[in-house]
Structure 1
Amino acid sequence: MQTLIYYLTTAMAIGLFTAKPSRAYSTHGAEAGDMPIETRHYWMRRANAALFEVTGNPCPTQAFGTVIVNHTAGGRGELVCIGANDIESGNPTLHGETAAIKNCSAILTDPHGP
């Protein structure tokens, strides 16, 4: 366990000093730096909370939660839908991102709304 923590800490430290900031994808040309760090932190915490909402487990293995946000709604943005990977389903391709897109598709194509 100590070896694992050492490797993770070392990898994180190396990444902090060598990695270039990534850009957020946007069709409007916005970059990750255009969004306040508080907003990014808020939605990352919300993605982590989605894990418990979807799986019922506060600390699932292979945890990947996702939130899809409408940032054109103003302020921090508006939550559209959430998703999390589900290893119990036996589907290794059902990552949090895929599950969130599937959930959004169901919500946005339902004539009665969410």
Structure 2
Amino acid sequence: MILLDTSVLSLAYRRRRRVEAEPHVVAVLRGMIHEDVPLAIPGIVLQEVLTGIRSEAQFGRLERALKAFPIVSAEPQHHILAARIANSCRRKGVATSAVDCIIAALATF
């Protein structure tokens, strides 16, 4: 299963002031859907993508589009693994975010 990240979804569903979605991102995403590649969205990514949407109508449209994908929620074991990932990265001098570590943890299960 491929977990879709905020950056990919933002590019695919962008609708700001005459800025349309990135055509190559949309094409790749549509291709994966057409080929039945298993795709899912982490719950935290769903929250990130929907945060900041000003129009209730746009929020509703985007929510419906995103909920067409399976939503993967983090459980306690994911949070523990995410902490281990963050600690390991820090020891190696790699900067990470809590969200990125949760997504990485979800991807391992």
- TM-score class, shorter: under 0.3
The TM-score with structure 2 as length reference comes to 0.25
Greater radius of gyration (CA): 1
By relative contact order (CA 8 Å, sep 6+), the higher-ranking structure is: 2
Structure with the higher fraction of residues in helix conformation: 2
The TM-score with structure 1 as length reference comes to 0.25
Structure with the higher fraction of residues in strand conformation: 1
